[in-house]
Amino acid sequence: MGEELEKVKKEAAQIIEDSQKLPRLVVFDLDYTFWPFYCECCYEDEMPYLYPHAMGILQALKDKGIDVAIASRSPTPDIAKTFLDKLGIQSMFVAQEIYSSWTHKTDHFQRIHRKTGVPFSSMLFFDDEDRNIQAITKMGVTSILVHRGVTLGALRQGLKKFAEKSSSSRT
């Protein structure tokens, strides 16, 4: 496991280095984006696990000085936070907006913006639900739909889209 993690982390770091423009904040959904399950279908005493590339990507972002946050509409925030703790990554996030909501994460992003001061145009977001991607994109956040969790390919796509959007908005 350690060798694979280092390989992913190294590749993620290279993807980040090769990017023309970097976001100040990368925001992740949890369920089916960071890990392959819904928290509400689990028990706190279970041992969680991440998608294969998630930890390496997270560590590479942190090593490159890019802040990370969570926006999750989980009805069981206590389980989500326990899982982050068990994985030893809870302290890596500058903001954790984990709560049930009828909105498409717009409240989550308003709170993240207030906590961090990072403008929406300087954020990159990964989620597995198209409705969240659409709503958050309208706020000015570069958003990437993932199908089987966050991957190196999704990171590459997200950073490319972020750079393209940043260069086209500068006039």
- Annotated catalytic residue within 29, 67, 127, 128: 29
DSSP per-residue letters across 126-141 = EES-HHHHHHHHHTT-
Catalytic residue status for 18: no
Q: Which residues of 75-102 are buried (b: 16+ CB within 10 A; e: fewer)?
A: ebbebbbbbbeebebeebbebbbbbeee
Measure the CA–CA gap between 20 and 47, rounded to whole angstroms.
38
Catalytic residue status for 29: yes
Measure the CA–CA gap between 39 and 32, rounded to whole angstroms.
10
Q: Which two tokens mark 164? A: 């393209």
Residues 87, 29, 135, CA angle at the centre, nearest 5°?
170
Q: Which residues pair with 71 in a beta bridge?
A: 97
Known catalytic residues are 29, 31
